[in-house]
Amino acid sequence: MVVRVKLRIKSKFTNRSIELVVLANGGAESPKPCVVVDVETAEALNLWPSQGELYSIEEASTTTKAYLLPEAVKLELLDEGGNILSDVDADLIIQEGLHEPLITDITIDSLGISFSKGLWKHKEDQPNVIRRSARSR
């Protein structure tokens, strides 16, 4: 089962932020922490139209284009009450036509998330704390 978590994404350039449920995609690889969002989310952060560099992204069954804004955001992992569990500076990737925002393998690790079967824990959680996947829209 997949895991979704709630993040606060803060732009380092515009001082805007948005709370968003994202897919923790352990199969998506990246060399640095990043979050992949759609154009509407980038607009809400006042980061679209993008001044980022255009890249080709290889997915499981296709290749697509996306814009990379290095070190553009701070990601804050939120618990059910909106408290910050951890944070990380990250690249922002804007992908037109994206169906669901996601974080990559190294981002998952950097935020201290351990997950399986739709359940997850933060590395600082007490042993008895088990969190359920956040619900998408």
- Is residue 109 within 8 Å of residue 88, measured between CB atoms? no
Q: What is the pTM of this model?
A: 0.87
Strand 17-24 relative to strand 4-11, pairing: antiparallel
- Is residue 76 within 8 Å of residue 68, measured between CB atoms? no
Q: How far apart are CA 53 and CA 60, in angstroms?
A: 22
Amino acid residing at 120: W
Q: Three-state DSSP class for 107?
A: helix
Tens digits of pLDDT across the chain (137 residues) = 689 999 999 999 999 999 999 999 988 889 999 999 999 999 999 999 988 899 998 877 888 999 999 999 999 999 999 999 999 999 999 999 999 999 999 999 999 998 777 788 899 999 999 898 888 76
From the CB of residue 19, how many other CB atoms can be counted at a distance below 10 Å?
11
Amino acid residing at 125: D
